Structure 1
Amino acid sequence: MSRTKEILTAAGTLGCALGIGFIMQSSDVAMERYGTASKADARERQLEALDAKTTILEVQDIELTSAAFDVQAGLTGDTLADPDTIVTLAAASKGESPALEIVPQATPDSCDIIAEARPMAAAMVNVTLDAPCLPNERINIHHKGMIFTHTTSSTGGLDIQVPALSETAVFVLAFGNGDGAVAQTEVIDLVDFRRVVLQWRDVAGFQIHAFEMGAGYDDAGHIWAGNPRDRASAITGEGGFVILNGDKNAASPMLAEVYTFPADHGHGSGGVALSVEAEVTTANCGEEIEAQTLEMMPDDGVRIRDLTLSVPDCDAVGSFLVLNNLLEDLKLASN
């Protein structure tokens, strides 16, 4: 059966008049691009009553804002970082904490909270926490504007790998009761990588899609949650990888998806086209959802943009909303 495609454009407001292409793709196309057999069947059942053609949704109530969120307040809560700003954090000498005070509640001496950070390959950081008096507790990890939620183990431990966004990488680990700890390390190989972050809360359902060196959907160079690769690809210069930070099973978690690409790409020339997508699900249909993007800057800052949009009603479950030009494409050249 032949398909038609109608194209409309949605405009957002973001100081510099950022334009966004916003596409709703019906389940047939979504099945080809995303689904396993079982997921595709489920999406097809959900959209039996919909028109079979692929359409581009005329978007309303999309807003790219620059509201003045309080970054420091967000360090102990779930507030996203301040949009449209460059986030910097003064370096602290080894053994010192940055200028951020976390006042722990009184606990026995045996319940000291200890956090450590050590650099790993591909500009990743191994962050560990030992909090024996806080087992199975929700904890928010903050780093250079990125925020995500985890849950401590039954013994109060945590052991995760986090993409660094700054050479002097400072991690603030904050519990809801005011307890917390700070860990810091130096990530000297961060200059060898390009990195972008997409973060959101709970069931918003956002995804980063990276199309490396002209790749199309489902090509080997199409990197997303369904084809994430691993950090070995970036270490060898083959291409990028995607990693999700956060515990989806935590209560109303903050989640951060990070795409990393080697700066010195030696396999072909060109760049990486980036898009943001959100699936319409029974959990988010008809709701207003929010996200933030963080992009590493040459001066070791992070540019943050805020996004708010209204998801179509539940008769569109199984479709995908595609936002082009929200993230700047990575322009890279081979040797």
Structure 2
Amino acid sequence: MALFGNFVTIGGTLCCALSTGYLVQNGLAAPTDPDAVAERVASAPLRVADVEVAVLPELRNIALTSVTPREGGKAPPAKTPTRVAPELPGPAGRTDCKVAATATAAPMASVDLSVSAPCHGNQRVTVHHSGLSFTETTGPDGRLDVTIPALAENAVFVVALDDRHGAVASARVNDLGGYDRIALQWAGKAGFQIHALEFGASYGQAGHVWADPAARGQGTVTHLGKAGFPEAQVVEIYSFPSDAARRSGTIALSLEAEVTDDNCGREFSAQSFELRANLALRFRELSLKMPDCGATGEFLVLDNLLEDLKIAAR
């Protein structure tokens, strides 16, 4: 995106409903038997623990509506997970159509996920991990290879094709405790972007980090998913190696989007995930209304929606 265009003042253009809780992967301890993993994910892939309703401090110029917990302090039930169908004969009677996935720990507390679906070339696939989900496409040969910043040490990945075939893979991520992570996911063509200004950096300088390959900083922003499908899921994740921090200071985080014909005047649901200081993963629901179409071509900047990171030198 063009970094120095006009910007839209938020004022009353944003409505944000927040509920603060913690996502945990209870029972997903990455057994070595893939069938055991699949069975456990199908029965209880993700559970949301008791919710404390809270609003982060210093959220300015935003109308807030707290989500009230149900009786007993329990969160609303999670969406029904995508079920993985048993393997069936493929096109033209092919029987070598098994969908398989492998997950391997990678540098920077990430996981290399490889999917093989030989009878599902050029098809939509959704990847689920710790509450995150994003939409990708297999290649002509039915393969998909993607590197994903992990949100859990025992990282479990559910791969689901549109015909309900799929697979499950898991990996142990031993270095996750050395990273702070902020993720945002949404559906459709909202075009949101996470921007991080590390230790007082300005736009366009070293230390301004976003999902541009030319951006340079200590942290990184990873973009996952393709928005070309109806209601496609897209994710951006900012990762900072806090255990290797060479200085103390603040990382200012903002959510930005260009106002386009695809998103103007529309309201988008989004979810943020925050993994800070080796604490439990925190989850928040957001409802974001874009400016009307008279603002097309301008840029929306939400500079108090994501809480800044406070970094201590190690």
Q: TM-score, normalised by structure 1?
A: 0.73
CA RMSD, Structure 1 to Structure 2 (Å): 2.3
Amino acid aligned to 2:142:
G
- Alpha-carbon distance between aligned partners in 1 of 2:193 and 2:241, rounded to the nearest angstrom: 20
Runs (4+) off by over 6 Å: none
2:81 match: none
1:100 match: 41
Contact 1:289–1:308 under 8 Å retained in 2: yes
SS at match of 1:59: helix
2:192 match: 206
Shift, 1:320, TM fit: 1.7
Q: Please, which of 307, 322, 325 is the counterpart of residue 304 of structure 2?
A: 325
- Alpha-carbon distance between aligned partners in 2 of 1:265 and 1:214, rounded to the nearest angstrom: 18
Shift, 1:330, TM fit: 1.3
- Alpha-carbon distance between aligned partners in 2 of 1:124 and 1:137, rounded to the nearest angstrom: 25
Q: 1:125 to 1:34 in 2, by over 3 A?
A: farther
Q: 1:300 to 1:60 in 2, by over 3 A?
A: same
Shift, 1:289, TM fit: 1.8
- Alpha-carbon distance between aligned partners in 1 of 2:4 and 2:148, rounded to the nearest angstrom: 26
Q: Please, which of 87, 105, 111 is the counterpart of residue 23 of structure 2?
A: 87
Contact 1:34–1:226 under 8 Å retained in 2: no
1:16 match: none
Encode CA deviations 1:31-67: one digit per residue, 9 max, x unaligned: 5x346xxxxxxxxxxxxxxxx8x6624214603144x
- Alpha-carbon distance between aligned partners in 2 of 1:275 and 1:179, rounded to the nearest angstrom: 37
**More deviation, 173-182/241-250:** 241-250
Q: Please, which of 305, 309, 312 is the counterpart of residue 284 of structure 2?
A: 305
Higher helix residue share: 1
| Structure 2 segments unaligned to the other structure (5+ residues) | 43-83
Contact 2:249–2:311 under 8 Å retained in 1: yes
Contact 1:167–1:300 under 8 Å retained in 2: no
Amino acid aligned to 1:142:
H
Shift, 1:298, TM fit: 5.2
Does 2:136 correspond to 1:155? no
Contact 1:151–1:250 under 8 Å retained in 2: no
SS at match of 2:175: helix
SS at match of 1:282: coil
Q: 1:112 to 1:147 in 2, by over 3 A?
A: same
1:119 match: 105
- Alpha-carbon distance between aligned partners in 2 of 1:126 and 1:263, rounded to the nearest angstrom: 22
Shift, 1:109, TM fit: 3.8
- Alpha-carbon distance between aligned partners in 2 of 1:228 and 1:303, rounded to the nearest angstrom: 30
Does 2:207 correspond to 1:225? no
2:222 match: 243
Contact 1:204–1:290 under 8 Å retained in 2: no
SS at match of 2:294: helix
Encode CA deviations 1:244-290: one digit per residue, 9 max, x unaligned: 01123444321101111011244332121111112211111111122
Aligned residues: 264
- Alpha-carbon distance between aligned partners in 2 of 1:134 and 1:300, rounded to the nearest angstrom: 39
Contact 1:105–1:178 under 8 Å retained in 2: no
**More deviation, 165-174/261-270:** 261-270
Q: 1:125 to 1:92 in 2, by over 3 A?
A: closer
Does 2:42 correspond to 1:56? no
Does 2:160 correspond to 1:174? yes
Contact 2:8–2:299 under 8 Å retained in 1: no
Percent identity over the alignment?
41
- Alpha-carbon distance between aligned partners in 2 of 1:179 and 1:298, rounded to the nearest angstrom: 37
Q: Please, which of 234, 237, 241 is the counterpart of residue 262 of structure 1?
A: 241
1:314 match: 293
Amino acid aligned to 1:127:
L
Encode CA deviations 1:155-181: one digit per residue, 9 max, x unaligned: 111111111111111000011221110
- Alpha-carbon distance between aligned partners in 2 of 1:207 and 1:197, rounded to the nearest angstrom: 10
SS at match of 2:204: coil
Q: TM-score, normalised by structure 2?
A: 0.77
Shift, 1:307, TM fit: 1.4
Q: Please, which of 167, 170, 193 is the counterpart of residue 179 of structure 2?
A: 193
Amino acid aligned to 2:162:
G
Amino acid aligned to 1:100:
V
